[in-house]
Amino acid sequence: MTNAARRQRGFSLLELLVACAIMAIALGMLYRATGGSARAVVEVDLRQRATVLAESLLALSDDVPPGGWQQQGRSGELAWSIRSAPYATGVNSGNAPLLHEVSIAISWADGGSQRQFELQTLRPERRALAGEANQ
């Protein structure tokens, strides 16, 4: 074998170091991408659970008591609160129901930060029945 043939037989140490560095950078980027996707899935799952909880709490009542609706509680890692306030419509008809703005807030801890989801809607005030007005 000639001297030139011996030199062509493999990679040099510098070429191996460069290849290893490129592979390490690529694996690091791949790890960050998959880790970010896993965190996003967890965040979407919690947000979806908060939405379902808010809709379920809203379905508890079709109307608001005359004194308003104030309630709070916990469901797993989700803390919730319901608040209502009278909503001015400008309609002064005796037949039009009074409206309340109902606000449902769902909060949870996500790592070191606090996340919150809010849902707001209008609900009519419950009218007293004829027998209830005298009691």
Per-residue pLDDT at 1: 53
Question: HSE on the CB side for 60, CA within 13 Å?
Answer: 14
CA 58 to the chain's CA centroid: 17
Per-residue pLDDT at 74: 93
Dist CA 115 CA 67 (whole Å): 30
Contact 106, 116 (CB under 8 A): yes
What 3-state class would DSSP assign to 49?
A: helix
What's the one-letter identity of residue 126? R
Per-residue pLDDT at 134: 44
Spans of all domains in the chain: 13-124
Sequence-separated (6 or more) residues with CB below 8 Å from residue 11: 19
β-strands 99-110, 113-124 pairing: antiparallel
Q: Where are the beta strands (DSSP E) in 49-98?
A: 71-75, 78-87
Per-residue pLDDT at 90: 77
Per-residue pLDDT at 33: 78
The CATH fold of domain 13-124: S-adenosyl-L-methionine-dependent methyltransferases (2.20.130)
Q: What is the mean pLDDT of each run of 10 residues along the chain (135 residues)?
A: 61 87 90 78 88 91 88 92 89 77 92 88 81 51
